[in-house]
Structure 1
Amino acid sequence: MLRHVVLLTWTDAATGEQVAEIARRLRELPAAIPEIRSYHCGDDLGTNPANADFVVTADFDSVDDYVVYRDHPQHRKVIDELISPILASRLGAQFPLGG
C-alpha cells in the first residue's frame, strides 16, 4: 500500500470560492476512480505561517493504482481547469505504508 501526498500553495489572486470548488471536485474522485482506497483533502489550518495552503492525501494498493488515479481524465480535468490557474507551487510525494 502507498500514500500519495500533495501540498499546494495558491496565488494571491485565488479566491475562497475557487478553493471550495477544487475541494468539492476532488472529493468526487473516489466515486469515479475505484483504485482509490482512502482520500482526504482540505485547507491548511494556518497554525504555522510557512505551511502550504491545501493538502491532498490518497492511499492506493499499488503504484499501478496510483498511476491510474494520476492519469485519470476526471483528475486531470480538476488539475487543468481549476488548480493550475491559481497554483503558485506544488510539492508531492508517494511513500509505502506499513514499512
Structure 2
Amino acid sequence: MIRHVVVFSWSPDADTDRRAATVAALRNLRTEVGGMTSLVVADDAGLVDGTADTVLIADFPDAEAFHRYAQDPVHLAVIAEHVRPILAARSAIQYRV
C-alpha cells in the first residue's frame, strides 16, 4: 500500500470561504477520482503555533493507483483551480505501508 501525505499552508489572503471550498474539493477527490482505499482531509486543530493549515492523507493499493490519481484530470483541476491560488507552501511524501 502507498500512503500519500500532503501538508498545505495557505496564503494570508485565503479567506475562510475559499479555504473551506478548497478542503471540500480535496475531500471530493475520493468520489470524483477514486483509486484510493481511504482519504482524510483535515484542518489543523490549532493546538500549537507554527503548524501547517491542512493535511491530506490518502492510501492507495499500489503505486500504479497513486500514479493514475496523480495524473487524473479532475485531480489536476482541483490543484489548479482551488489549491494553487491560495497556496503559500506545500510538502508531500509517499511511502509504503
Which TM-score tier does this pair reach, normalised by the shorter chain? over 0.9
Deviation for aligned residue 1:53: 0.5
- TM-score, normalization by structure 2: 0.94
Alignment of 1:58-73 (within 5 A): 58-73=58-73
Asked if the contact 2:42/2:54 (under 8 Å) is kept, the reply is: yes
Moved over 3 A (4+): none
Q: Deviations over 1:32-82 (max 9, x none)?
A: 223111001021111121210110000001111111111111111111011
Aligned residues: 97
Deviation for aligned residue 1:6: 0.3
Overall identity of the aligned pairs, in %: 34
Structure 2 CA distance for aligned equivalents of residues 16 and 34 of structure 1 = 27
Q: Which runs of 5+ in 1 are unaligned?
A: none
Aligned to 2:55: 55
Deviation for aligned residue 1:16: 0.8
Q: Which runs of 5+ in 2 are unaligned?
A: none
Residue 38 of structure 2 aligns to a residue whose secondary structure is: strand
Alignment of 1:1-99 (within 5 A): 1-97=1-97
- TM-score, normalization by structure 1: 0.93
